[in-house]
Amino acid sequence: MDISILAAELTADLLSRGYSGMSDAEAAADLNIVCRERNRSSMTGSEVLNAVDVTEWGSLDAGQKQTVWDVVHLGDVNPFGVEATLLIAVFGSGSNTIAALAVARKEAIGRAVELGLGFIYPGHIQNARM
């Protein structure tokens, strides 16, 4: 844990969370609340396949199915890379599959995780405020 990053967050309070008026326990709890979102850097092929709408899959021709199969068998899939472009071309931007993938390629996180700090305990806050 980088206490200097935590201290800067508590002092600057860039998101106006009100850390200065919080106890150590309250500030720790606030930093751990899952209330932020970030783009995922990768997804497994299984995660991608599980987002595919079964009805839309049934409507694909053999070549389109092969493209999907090829993408999900890459191992780690970049949800914002060429893989995403290929899947949009196959299913269409307004499809249920692409809507599901748009949700799946984001993850909910807390402010502490966003800052690269992991889980915060009141003792961390106390140390950062010293």
76-114 pLDDT, tens digit per residue, is 999 999 999 999 999 999 999 999 999 999 999 999 999
- Residues in contact with 109: Cβ distance below 8 Å, sequence separation at least 6, in sequence order: 34, 36, 37, 38
Predicted local confidence at residue 75, as pLDDT: 85
| Number of independent structural domains in the chain | 2
Instruction: Kindly state whether residues 24 and 52 are assigned to the same domain.
Output: no
Instruction: Kindly state whether residues 66 and 91 are assigned to the same domain.
Output: yes
> Whole-model pTM?
0.71
Instruction: Kindly state whether residues 56 and 82 are assigned to the same domain.
Output: yes
Locate tokens 């092969």: which residue? 66
Instruction: Kindly state whether residues 52 and 29 are assigned to the same domain.
Output: no
Containing domain of residue 11, as a range? Answer: 3-35+111-129
Instruction: Kindly state whether residues 31 and 16 are assigned to the same domain.
Output: yes
